[in-house]
Structures are given as C-alpha cells and as structure tokens.
Amino acid sequence: MPETPVLYVLNGPNLNLLGVREPHIYGRDTLADVQALCETAAEGATVVFRQSNHEGELVDWIQEARTEAVALVINPAAYSHTSIALLDALKALTIPVVECHLSNPGAREEFRRHSYVSLAAAGIVSGFGAHSYELAVKAALRLARERSASPAR
Ligand code: DQA
C-alpha cells in the first residue's frame, strides 16, 4: 500500500439531494455529512469523494480510479439497477470495489432488487443509512490492505 492510500467514494444521481430527498427512506444526513463520516472512517487515507447525476461522468471517474486509488466505494443510486456501462467500467478495475446503499434495495420495489453493479463488487453494504458508508469505507480499505499484503500473481 502507498504511504497515504487514496480511496474513491463515488455517488450517483440524486444523491446531491440527500437530507431533503425522501428523508423517511434516506435519512436527514446531507452528502457533506456523509463525506465527513467517510473521511473519519478512512483513518488517514485520502478520500476522493464525488457525486454526479451523469452516467458518463461516473464512468470517467471509475476509469480514473484504476490508476489513482487503492479501492473504490460506489453508491450508484438508480444506475445500480440500469447501468451496464458502470458495470463494464468497474469490471476493468483490479482494485476492490464495495457497493454501498443507504436504504436496503432488497426490501423495496421489485425493480430495485437487481443491481448490475453487484456483479463487479467484492461486497455490498446496504440498509444502514449514512452508517453504510462508514462500513463500506472500512471494508474497502481492509480489502486493499489484504491485497497489498498478498498480491494476486
Ligand atoms: C440508493 C437505492 C437506489 O435504489 C436508489 O435509486 C437511490 C439510492 C440507496 O442509497 O439506498 O437513489 O442507492
């Protein structure tokens, strides 16, 4: 692992409205609050925290993470359920990917129960509100540490 590892935390569409958008489902924490939680959970790792409403921009950032990050956490929001482009971008990574959701999509509408992104994820954290991100950050950094201790041949 580099001395100061870099972790990408990417957020998909409508997550800029966190705190005011369906708070009974997503909670009252804003995206800035979530960013602060991630930075604390990262315990010294640098967190590159971004949000976009645009699929292509998320693809660009995933590609960037290939060379810039030791691990990636992504809440793809609605693109989880629709985006083969995000899946393909994630499959091109060799770093660990953790999928993260505030709500538990498996306990919601039928159309949320399938995630393309899950096919490229080492694991999924969902249903714990903003706390899902803290767990996802810790899991992603742990996987990165494990991989650097015994890299795949
Ligand atoms: C979400 C769940 C998705 O189904 C939804 O489209 C979102 C947010 C979550 O964090 O719970 O926008 O990813």
Consecutive sets of 10 residues in the chain, 153 residues long: mean pLDDT of each? 91 97 94 98 97 98 98 98 98 98 96 97 98 98 93 62
- Rounded distance between C-alpha atoms, residue 39 and residue 137, angstroms: 9
- CATH value of 6-149 in 3.30.1490.190, 3.30.1330.30, 3.40.50.300, 3.40.50.9100: 3.40.50.9100
Q: Are 46 and 5 in contact (CB under 8 A)?
A: yes
How is the chain split into domains, by residue range? 6-149
* Catalytic site includes residue 24: no
CA–CA separation, 100 and 102 (whole Å): 7
Q: Which ligand 1 atom is nearest residue 78's CA? A: 6
Residues flanking ligand 1, CB < 6 Å: 14, 75, 77-78, 80, 101-103, 105, 112
Active site residue 8: no
Quote the CA–CA distance of 24 and 153 in Å, as a whole number: 46
Contact 91, 120 (CB under 8 A): yes
- What's the rounded Cα separation, in Å, for the pair 48 and 36? 11
150 CA distance to ligand 1 centroid (A)? Answer: 34
